[in-house]
Amino acid sequence: MSSERHGTTYEAAGQFSPDAVAASMQRNDGGFGRNQDTYFDHPVLRKAHWRWEIVAYFFIGGASAASAALASIADLFGDPDDEALVRTGRYVALAGSAVSSALLIKDLGRPERFLNMLRIVKLKSPMSVGVYALVTFATTSGFAAMEQARADGVIPFDPFGWFPRRLRVAAHMVSAALMICYTGVLLSATAIPVWYRGRRHLPAIFVLSASGAGCALQNALLALTGGSGRTAKKLETIEVIAGLAEAVLLWDYERVAGEPGKALFGGARGRKLKTYAVGVGIAIPALLSLPSILSGKAHPKPKRLRTLLTAACALAGGYVLRECVVYAGRDSADDPRAYLRHPE
Amino acid sequence: MPGLGTLYGRGGATTFLMDLEHSDLILIQGSNFAENHPVGFRFVTKAKERGAKVIHIDPRFTRTSALADEYIPIRSGTDIAFTGGIINYVLQNEAYFKEYVVAYTNAAYIVDERFADTDDLDGIFSGFNAEKGTYDPATWKYELEESGGESSQAAGSAKDAVNGGTSATTGSHPEHGTKRPKKDETLQHPRCAINLLKKHFTRYTPEMVERITGAPKEQFIELCKLVVANSGRERTMVYCYAMGWAQHTVGVQNIRAAATLQALLGNTGRPGGGIMALRGHASIQGSTDIATLYDLLPGYIKAPSLERGEDTFEKWKKNWANPTGWWANWPKYAVSQLKAWYGEAARADNDWAYDYLPKNTGDHSHQPMFFTMKDGGIEGMILWGQNPAVGGQNAALQRAALGQLKWMVCQDLFETESAAFWKREGVDPATIGTEVFFMPAAAIAEKAGTLTNTMRLVQFHEKAVDSPGDARSDLSLAYNLGKRLKALYADSQLATDRPILDMTWNYDSDDAHERARGEPDVEKIMREINGYVVETGEQVKTFVDLKDDGSTAAGAWIYTGYFPAKDQNLTRRRKGDDWVSLEWAWAWPANRRNLYNRASADPDGKPWSERKKYIWWDEEAKKWTGLDVPDFPVAKAPTFRAQPGAKGMDAHDGTAPFIIQEYGVAEFFGVQGTVDGPFPTHYEPRESPVPNFLYPHQQYNPVLKEWRRRDNPYHAIGDPKYPYVLSTYRLTEHHLTGAMTRWNSWLAELQPEAFCEISPELAVELGIRNGDWVTISTARGEVEAKALVTGRITPFKIGPKQWVHQIGMPIHYGYQGLVTGDAANVLPPLVADPNVSIHEAKAFTCDLRLGRRGPAHEGPTWLPVPASEQRPLGRPDRGGRVEAGTAHTTDDDIVPAGVVMAGAQREHQLESSEHLSIDPEPAGDREANT
Amino acid sequence: MQDMGFFTDVTLCIGCKACEVACKQWNQLPADGFALSGDSYDNTGRLSSTTWRHVAFVEQMDRETPAASRWMMMSDVCKHCTNAGCFEACPTGAIVRNEFGDVYVQPDVCNGCGYCVPSCPFGVVAVQQKSGVAQKCTLCYDRQKDGLEPACAKSCPTDSITFGPVAELKAKAEARVETLRAQGKEARLYGVDGEETRDVGPLNAFFLIPDRPEVFNLPSKPVLPSKFQPEAYAVGLLAAMTMTVVGISVFRGFRESA
Ligand SMILES: Nc1nc2c(c(=O)[nH]1)N[C@H]1C(S)=C(S)[C@@H](COP(=O)(O)OP(=O)(O)OC[C@H]3O[C@@H](n4cnc5c(=O)[nH]c(N)nc54)[C@H](O)[C@@H]3O)O[C@H]1N2
Ligand SMILES: Nc1nc2c(c(=O)[nH]1)N[C@H]1C(S)=C(S)[C@@H](COP(=O)(O)OP(=O)(O)OC[C@H]3O[C@@H](n4cnc5c(=O)[nH]c(N)nc54)[C@H](O)[C@@H]3O)O[C@H]1N2
Ligand code: SF4
Ligand code: SF4
Ligand code: SF4
Ligand code: SF4
Ligand code: SF4
Ligand SMILES: [Mo]
């Protein structure tokens, strides 16, 4: 030991493999500048601070907007026995937009910060567009709810009754659509690799999963409030179509995202996404509802338990999807190679 | 630094920072220029942009190396071998600047035949006195011409040997009288200085250089070629150095070696040439000018010393007033100084109150002072802007020493480690008797005054704001202390109290606000330093007007001229140009920026070349002129020839640029001024794992100052328990002991923790990973730090067989402040260069291990030392002697360091670390000892 | 009014960090913490909401050919992009391009929504917890208005950071690259007209670097997020319309089948 420590017998040349050195320096470049491809692995980008509030906001905003859309469609194109759907759809829309606003304010910290966004309209900023989508959605939902309340005799008269009805419904529908669309754009239009690489998928995926969630939510409520089996069947049909489309898009997203996509599709998060968002959120509901969809005749009384179970699965899946996507953004921002090595 | 003084005459940097831009080759060695003088470094980068080459020679790859065109690694403590190698290359290839060397140096002077070189005496020069452990320079002399002037035989021989010539100017040798040395202008005589120089360095071959320093031979030879190619009529090279050279037991000789090379190549006194000494604290130059050193009075006038028998003014004068050369003016400066201090009381009939001056009785430099303090020899201390508990070598000993004081006054900006030494780790305050008074100091922006920077530039700065609370300037403390002492002794009749009563002390501010705050008027003091005519009281314009008859008073002759009229403070000037900037502030002497600049012209007074034009002789105007203030008698024609027996400056020819020197020439062969030999010689540091390849039987500087005591143990040569070389240094982010930076969050976050830099090779060998805690230990104590594993540190291949690992450690950490850490200074021993008593913090040995240190880390430094062992300076044997037979003789058989050690141990009993390694006792016992 | 900006020359930087400290002092920003990183001499890591100048230390030590060893220092800062992601993303209009052509966050308007953060392709701007607003280099807007040079440039001893009209700086920079290349040294500009400017446009704070951008954590192809919006909106709306159609047809389909 000591003679070796003493250094008289020690030969440095060759004795130290760069890897041994690298290990001692806990650095991939061995401090000798070999294959330096980042700066000490420090992140290049900054992650958004978003946490569960935003996940919940995306989810609830999406589901309630979808409900609104379904209500409007049912209102315009549905049968008399779809009225239950129209009712719950309208009320859910109002409640949903209220909760969404609350969540957004929670994320910002103070209410006036929310109002601050209304200083200007800025089409270039998805955040700005989104805020106005939310505001208009909330307002039109308010109108719709009021109309419904009037119809249900909860309030004596509808102050906006004079407003052309079809226009109202259309407006509600459009604002709901915007509300559903923009969240995907909000994420896609950033510098975060895993997100912007999904710009051709994420917005659609969010729309589809929102639709699915909307159907599931309505179905559940109808099951509880005793809606018609025909409505349930319609909703299930839409839900299954949306679900399958979503699954296909997710698969393609993973394909094109490549290496940077790993933040979402790789590792534990990837497994979570596939098990819950796809497995629980899409496959199971589809399987559970297929029989009734395929059976030609519409059963008068929907099977309550099954419906509730299906809905629960679909809703859970929708939430997990958004959670995975939002949190994948954090990891993606922290990984310098995702950005430096794979520019688009 | 006498290293420059012996050769050129003055110790200050020969040039100024802006001039670096005009250099063709910048050698930075022993300095981390970019990190420690970042603002000055801008002129290096500018030079680079203009196409100059920059070379950095350093044990570590630093931020300076990063900006250099080439980096050459060199083992700490081997610079003389390196520079000596270049000198040898230049001499062997006859590549030196002939005209310059013959005319402007003592190359042709013939040396006394009794002189014997290290090669003749196995590693020591003639005149070694083993009893005292010092040299008697009696044989370091020239052969004088028989005829020509009287020869005054003064008792001045070896006067500097006793008392390390801290002087910026050379020791003089009046015993020569006005006789002149014999010369051989053909340079044929075997004993003329240049031939002795050549002989001295012949063994410094590229192979030897590589073997000793570890610097690759090819790289070294390339450098030699570069150096030669960038010197001569058309081109110039400059040397920049700092503590990497100074902080060694051969510190002065390190610098002298470079000065020798620059004189050989004819680079000194010319634009883009010379030697840029990069000094320390913002005004450290000022503090040596207006002497904080114990053996100097302001203006580099040697403090009277009884060891030199200077008990009367006459004897003092005899020792320092050269018959020839600039120091012939010495009496004018000394008398004017006494006049300034004691006014009326300084009269011809009482030798200008010479008796008032305290006389040195020994070595009172920092290190011996702290030993005396530790042994209870000092009662009280005023600690003024210093932090020895962190900045001092063997810091734990210095902390213990503070605990032996009865009282200590500390004036500082913060409660430093020194102010808080009594509550440091492992100490029970109850066991410390020292009464500590802390006086808050005003910081630079809170007071007006001057700073004299590294290029002798005296710059005035205004006060920006009042200092907070009770904080006052140091000046205010000193001034009011003086006033109170005067009041205290006001009605004393005792003669011994006269120095206090007669002292000039009238600097009250005329500004009511300042007076109320007790702040004196700085400019009043500056006027006194500048000097005035006693009769009329009007300011003296230049030191040429100073008299030795008491008609003038001046506090420091070198500053005379910076306040030439009552309302003319030239240090306030701020008019710069892109080079010499003569109207920016004021530089001593006489606002000259590039010293010895007469050498920028050939002997006939014409510029050596158009490209390097600087100062020249104007035949019409009959005077010297050019871009700078001529550092030469302005009207003395190049053709002027000194008459035999002439005195003062008249003894110099019109071709003698080094006006301070006795003969007006640069002296390769240093007749006096350095006490460890007339030539630089390679010795290993006091502690080294490597034998001395050049002089196997003389390991280290035989006359270095050391203190062999049980509280200051040294490692034996090549002690296997301490295999690594440790070198300490600075970081840009911190300042020295950190008092001005570790308290500041913006700076602290940049270098937040104590660390040591080690090579990946050593890290792998010891299983250390980047960021691990490691413990560095010596016989003095141990400290812990985080390991910074970096390829910027390389192991050195020494000789055919040996690999030496060097570890680097910043000095900035301590136990007070916002961020703290162990102080590196717990590790080095107290040991000093014999000339200027500077410590050897740049190279000593240590051990390194993975993991954190134990609680009692201050080692044996606590032990009180029995009177019998309280040996002062010097030793009864020949230090560093390695017995014949134990050392290696041929290239291939290097003795395993163990054997060298055995040889060494036989003769330094006290040194063997077994003998001294004392297991750390429980803190309680230690307190009992203090 | 011509654009004012920075030319930061890595080959002149001595890593003294004066710029970092001058910035913190002038803008009274707090320290980021006191821990040794072990990453060369860099203990502040990267730009943050409270570190607006950051000096990176890149060690390239070569044992085989020591002469090839390098230690590069690079003082990073907000790039003040021509097409600034942060600026485009801001919903409140807090981020403006001021009269000096620099990208400035108005603290009194910012609501801390944080959308500018993931929208900056250089990871510069960040929301500070305490103030709750987005913070980054202001290019010393306040000093410029008073005709002063930015604090960091002012304090740079070697003029590694030079401040001035961007047009002039570019001329200077190109000349510098020529000289270095003539000396056989590696040198390229980052942020003048390379592929890195494809989307974000020329940078008002650009750099001279002697190595690949990645070595300094600079993206060789920084993205401009707004560029992704058209596709994203299209895809989203298409999906929404499809689902509407599906919905309508499902509801209708049933009506017929009844
Ligand atoms: N930022 C900052 N600046 C400072 C200071 C500070 O504390 N902080 N201190 C000031 C003061 S007081 C002083 S004295 C100066 C000191 O200025 P420098 O002398 O530059 O400071 P150091 O870092 O002590 O040493 C310089 C270099 O010497 C190298 N070295 C060590 N041993 C040897 C050797 O044997 N040979 C050679 N060739 N090189 C060697 C070290 O590796 C180091 O890089 O700096 C002044 N400037
Ligand atoms: N191992 C090792 N040791 C070394 C060195 C080394 O390289 N290696 N370098 C040596 C060198 S070159 C030097 S210069 C010394 C420096 O050693 P010190 O001078 O002891 O260290 P500093 O931190 O400079 O101490 C200066 C003190 O003055 C205080 N101060 C600042 N301004 C004022 C003021 O206006 N008035 C008053 N009263 N106080 C003020 C500061 O707060 C600080 O506490 O260290 C030496 N020690
Ligand atoms: S610290 Fe002061 S003296 Fe030292 S380089 Fe910086 S400015 Fe100059
Ligand atoms: S670098 Fe980032 S923060 Fe700076 S202007 Fe560009 S986008 Fe905005
Ligand atoms: S955080 Fe402030 S600056 Fe950034 S986008 Fe939101 S409002 Fe604009
Ligand atoms: S320009 Fe001003 S704000 Fe920006 S980095 Fe420099 S000092 Fe900081
Ligand atoms: S101040 Fe200049 S030299 Fe110092 S680190 Fe910043 S950019 Fe580099
Ligand atoms: Mo110093």
Q: What is the mean pLDDT of chain A?
A: 89
Please say if the pLDDT value at position B137 is more than 50.
yes
Is residue B151's pLDDT more than 60?
no
- Ligand nearest to the CA of residue B35, numbered in listed order: 1
The two tokens of residue C131 are 């103030």
Q: Which atom of ligand 2 is nearest to the CA of B828?
A: 1
Residue-level pLDDT at A26: 58
Amino acid code (one letter) for B327: W
Beta carbons of A24 and B791 less than 8 Å apart:
no
pLDDT of residue A37: 86
- Position A317 pLDDT exceeds 70: yes
B797 at interface of A, judged by CB pairs closer than 8 A: yes
Q: What number is the average pLDDT over the span B690-697? A: 93
Q: Is the pLDDT of residue B670 over 90?
A: no
Residue B171 has pLDDT above 50, yes or no: no
* Band of residue B159 on the pLDDT scale cut at 50, 70, 90: very low
Helices (H), B71-132: 79-92, 98-104
The answer to whether the CB atoms of A26 and B771 lie below 8 A apart is yes
* Percentage of residues of chain B with pLDDT beyond 70: 90
Q: How far is the CA of C149 from the centre of ligand 6 (A)?
A: 10
Question: By three-state DSSP, how is residue C148 classified?
Answer: coil
Segment B209-218 shows an average pLDDT of 95
Q: What percent of chain B has pLDDT over 90?
A: 80
Q: Closest ligand 2 atom, CA of B447?
A: 35
Neighboring chains of B (3 or more beta-carbon pairs < 8 A) = A, C
A99-143 pLDDT, tens per residue? Answer: 999 999 999 988 999 999 999 999 999 999 999 999 999 999 999
Please report the pLDDT score of residue B147 as a whole number.
64
Contacts of A116 in chain C (CB under 8 A): 92, 109, 111
Q: What are the tens digits of pLDDT across the range B49-88?
A: 899 999 999 999 999 999 999 999 999 999 999 999 999 9
Residue A159: pLDDT band (50, 70, 90) is confident
Does the beta-carbon distance from B755 to C31 stay under 8 Å?
Answer: no
Q: How far apart are CA A337 and CA C214, in angstroms?
A: 9
Note the pLDDT of residue B130: 82
- Which residues of chain A neighbour C55 with C-beta distances below 8 Å? none
Residue A335 pLDDT greater than 90, yes or no? yes
In this predicted structure, the answer to whether residue B668 has a pLDDT above a threshold of 50 is yes
For the record, the structure tokens of B455 come out as 């290029």
Span from the CA of A265 to the centroid of ligand 5 (angstroms): 30
Q: Do A117 and C113 touch (CB under 8 A)?
A: yes
**Rounded to the nearest 5°, which phi and psi values hold at B584?**
-100, 110
pLDDT at residue A229 greater than cutoff 90: no
Sign of the torsion angle spanned by Cα atoms C199, C201, C206, C210: positive
Per-residue model confidence (pLDDT) at position C256: 52
Contact of B78 with B693, CB cutoff 8 Å: no
- pLDDT at position B536 over 70: yes
Q: What DSSP line would sit under B443-490, residue for residue?
A: PGGGS-EEEE-TTSEEEEE---SPPSTT-B-HHHHHHHHHHHHHHHHT
Query: Is the beta carbon of B37 within 6 A of some atom in ligand 3?
Result: yes
Tell me what pLDDT residue A144 has. 94
| B433-443 core/surface letters (b: 16 or more CB in 10 A; e: else) | ebebebbbbbe
Tell me: the pLDDT tens digits for A247-287? 999 999 999 999 999 999 999 999 999 999 999 999 999 99
Give yes or no for B564 touching A (CB within 8 A): no
Q: Flag whether pLDDT at B460 surpasses 80.
A: yes
Query: What average pLDDT does the segment B882-908 reach?
Result: 41
C 41-60 residues with CB < 8 A to B:
41, 43-44, 59
Mean pLDDT for B84-104 is 97
Per-residue confidence (pLDDT) for residue B746, from 0 to 100: 98
Residue B907 has pLDDT above 80, yes or no: no
Cα B662 to Cα A230, B179, B315, B676, B846, distances in angstroms: 120, 11, 19, 20, 45
* Alpha carbon of residue B491 to chain centroid: 43
Tens of pLDDT, residue by residue over B710-746, are 899 999 888 899 999 999 999 999 999 999 999 999 9
Looking at all shown ligands, the one closest to residue B33's CA atom is 1
Q: How far is CA B714 from CA A194, B326, B929, C64, in A?
A: 63, 43, 22, 37
Q: Mind listing the pLDDT tens digit for each residue in A36-53?
A: 889 999 999 999 999 999
pLDDT in tens, B311-322: 999 999 999 998
pLDDT of A204 strictly over 90: yes
Environment class of residue B579 by beta-carbon count within 10 Å: exposed (0-12), middle (13-18) or buried (19+)? Answer: middle
Decide if C14 and B61 are in contact by the 8 Å CB cutoff: no
Whether residue B30 has its Cβ less than 6 Å from ligand 2: no
Instruction: Tell whether A297 lies on the interface with B, counting CB pairs under 8 A.
Output: no
pLDDT range class, residue B613, cuts 50, 70, 90: very high
**pLDDT of B532 above 80:** yes
With a cut of 70, say whether residue B792 has pLDDT above it: yes
When the pLDDT of each residue in chain B is averaged and rounded to a whole number, the result is 90
Question: Which ligand minimizes its atom distance to the CA of C141?
Answer: 6
Taking only the tens place, the pLDDT of each residue in B35-44 is 999 999 999 9
How high is the pLDDT of residue B871? 61
Residues of C in contact with B67 (CB under 8 A): 12, 14
User: What is the structure's pLDDT at B742?
Assistant: 97
pLDDT at B371 over 90: yes
Among the partner-chain residues B41, B752, B753, the one whose CB lies closest to the CB of C158 is: B41
For residues B60 and B76, give the distance between their C-alpha atoms in angstroms, rounded to a whole number.
9
Which of B14-23, B918-927, C214-223 comes out lowest in average pLDDT?
B918-927
Q: Does B870 have pLDDT greater than 50?
A: yes
Of ligand 3's listed atoms, the one at least distance from the Cα of C18 is: 6
Size of interface B-C (CB pairs under 8 A): 106
pLDDT score at B860? 83
B53: left (phi over 0), alpha (psi -120 to 50) or beta: beta
CB of B445 within 8 Å of any CB in chain C?
no
% residues pLDDT > 90 (chain C)? 92
CA of B507 to the centre of ligand 5 (A): 60
B63/C14 CB distance under 8 A: yes
B45 vs C13: CA distance, rounded Å: 9
| Chain pair A-C, CB pairs under 8 angstroms | 233
Q: Cα separation of B21 and B24, whole Å?
A: 8
Looking at chain A, the whole-number percentage of residues with pLDDT higher than 90 is: 72
> Ligand 6 atom closest to Cα of C52?
5
pLDDT band for position A24 (cuts 50, 70, 90): low
Q: Give me the pLDDT at residue A301, please.
A: 63
Quote the pLDDT of residue B671. 79
* Residue of B123, B116, B121, B108 whose CA lies nearest to B137: B116
CA–centroid distance, residue B453 to ligand 3 (Å): 10
Q: Whose CA is nearest to atom 6 of ligand 3?
A: B39
**Sign of the alpha-carbon dihedral angle for B895, B896, B897, B898:** negative
Question: How would residue B915 be classed by pLDDT, with cut points 50, 70 and 90?
Answer: very low
Any ligand 3 atom below 6 A from CB of B221: no
| Neighboring chain C residues of B35 at a CB cutoff of 8 Å | 14, 16
Mean pLDDT of chain C: 95
pLDDT at A194 over 70: yes
